[in-house]
Amino acid sequence: MWPDNKGVHINAHGGGMLSHGGVTYWFGEHKIAGEAGNVAHAGVHVYSSRNLYDWRDEGIALSVSDDPVSDIVDGCVIERPKVMYNATTRLFVMWFHLELAGKGYDAARCGVATSESPTGPYQFIGSSRLCAGIWPRNASDDDKLPGAKLARDFEGGQMSRDMTLFVDDDGSAYQLSASEDNQSLHIYRLSSDYLRPSDVYVRRLVGRYNEAPAVFKREGRYFLFSSGCTGWRPNPARIAVADSLLGEWTELGNPCIGTPEQVETTFESQSTYVLPVERKRDAFIFMADRWRPLDAIDGRYIWLPIRFVDGVPRIEWAGEWDLSVFS
Ligand code: DGJ
């Protein structure tokens, strides 16, 4: 259990972090008790911290809507919210995986919301699939044939389920999401205001059924943690590397070190984000969820320091640790 400033277990599942002005903000899915908690009833919860240990409850950043025609009504699915700050527009921009109420996981959309303040309230801009009418840069002739999943979604836009965001050193932003019925990852370069995809995107790791993407950059190389595709049940983590976000990704196997059970289940968790620790050199935290689908609010958080072995990210269990491991 990880209590907030009121002594209540933090309620920010599938989380994403934003470091801004010396404060780190933790955004995540607000869950309620029981199986009912697997869909959204409140929205996106946000917490703030100056030391990464103590978290202050900042309330609901993005609320589900009372308007019955809204895409984000009570009962929709809002997952894996992530937030970026756009220095030009001075807006905080939130993206999340959205499923429409009562439609299972068929909608496979992205939602976008903005706020002038990091903690919100965020205004919902809209939701959609991505890049309708545009082929990815690396689509082959076969991918464009009727019957291929990519071609199936060409007109209506590509599916976007488990997702993450990444802002590069030059301020360019990217969205990565599970697409084509989860069989591939799509990587979209975003518009300069971060509100929509540009027309530049690629499909990668085709046929690998990756979920739970979490990206970070170290020494000019990009690393991607992900999981396989087994619903709420944990599975072995994966790590991949690339020289450019839109470039080729090379898989480097399972990053976990531990007992067979720990390695097979990613310490009973599924990746959600990699947090670079501010003011520490070469310090990255692997963040993951231990889902509890029968009592969603009871989901737990796994944070582990990332070690580098011959330049490859590795994670090992630590029952207790603190930031001095990075000194
Ligand atoms: C695994 C995903 O990573 C979660 O975010 C969620 O979509 C579950 N599947 C739903 O089964």
Decide if 134 is inside a domain: no
| Per-residue pLDDT tens digits for 111-121 | 999 999 999 99
Q: Average pLDDT of 81-92?
A: 98
Residue 155 located in a structural domain? no
Which residue's CA is minimally distant from atom 1 of ligand 1?
Answer: 231
Amino acid, res. 69: V
User: Ligand 1 centre and the CA of 251: distance in Å?
Assistant: 22
What separation in angstroms does the CA of 256 have from each of 158, 218, 229, 272, 307?
32, 18, 17, 15, 10
> Can you give the residue range of the structural domain that contains 33?
1-128
Is residue 24 included in any domain, yes or no? Answer: yes
Residue closest to 277 by CA, chosen among 304, 317, 312, 313:
304
User: Which residues, 6+ apart, have CB-to-CB distance to 292 below 8 Å?
Assistant: 298, 299, 300
15, 86, 81: which is closest to 52 by C-alpha?
A: 15
Q: How many CA atoms lie within 13 A of 236 on its CB side?
A: 15
- DSSP string spanning 73-142? BTTSEEEEEEEEEETTTTEEEEEEEEE-TTSTT-S-EEEEEEESSTT-PPEEEEEE-B-TT---TT--TG
215 has a pLDDT exceeding 90 = yes
- What would the mean pLDDT of 192-199 be, rounded to a whole number? 98
Yes or no: say if 124 and 64 are a contact pair by the CB < 8 Å rule. no
Test site for ligand 1: of 29, 31, 210, 232, most ligand atoms within 8 A of the Cβ = 232
- Quote the pLDDT of residue 143: 95
Ligand 1 within 6 A of 293 CB?
no
For residue 53, tell me if it sits in a domain: yes
Which CATH number belongs to the domain containing residue 87 in this structure? Answer: 2.115.10.20
Buried b / exposed e over 62-101, threshold 16 CB at 10 Å, is: bbbeeeeeebbbbebbbbbbbbbbbeeeebbbbbbbbbbb
Residue 161 lies in a domain: no
Cis peptide before 68 (omega within 30 of 0): no
Give the number of domains in the chain: 1
* pTM metric for this prediction: 0.98
What's the pLDDT band for 302 if we cut at 50, 70, 90?
Answer: very high
**Nearest atom in ligand 1 to 161's CA:** 7
Residue 309 three-state SS:
strand
- Output the DSSP codes for 151-168: HHTTTT-B---SEEEEE-
Distance, CA of 299 to CA of 291 (rounded, Å): 5
* In a domain? residue 72: yes
C-alpha 271 to ligand 1 mean position (Å): 11
> How many whole angstroms separate alpha carbon 176 and alpha carbon 237?
17
CB atoms within 10 A of CB 281: 7
| Cβ count near 175 (within 10 Å) | 25
Going by pLDDT thresholds of 50, 70 and 90, the confidence category of residue 327 is confident
CA 30 to ligand 1 center in whole angstroms: 15
> Does residue 178 have its Cβ closer than 6 Å to ligand 1?
no
Smallest CA-to-CA distance from 237 within 258, 210, 205 is with 210
Give the torsion sign (CA, 138, 240, 92, 170). Answer: negative
Separation of CA 113 and ligand 1 centre (Å): 21
Length, in residues, of the chain: 327
Quote the ligand 1 centre to 130 CA distance (angstroms): 19
Distance from residue 43's CA to the centre of ligand 1 (Å): 16
- 133 falls within a domain: no
Please say if the pLDDT value at position 321 is more than 90.
yes
Q: Is the CB–ligand 1 distance for residue 99 below 6 Å?
A: no
**For all residues of the chain together, what is the average pLDDT?**
98
Q: Is the CB of 311 under 6 A from ligand 1?
A: no
Q: Is the pLDDT of residue 274 over 90?
A: yes
**Residue 20: inside a domain, yes or no?**
yes
What is the tens place of the pLDDT at every residue in 33-61? 999 999 999 999 999 999 999 999 999 99
Q: Hey, which of 29, 38, 79 would you mutate to test ligand 1's pocket, going by the most ligand atoms within 8 Å of its Cβ?
A: 79
Q: What is the pLDDT of residues 1-11, one digit of tens each?
A: 999 999 999 99
What does the block give as tokens for 203?
Answer: 């499909």
Look up residue 148 and give its amino acid.
A
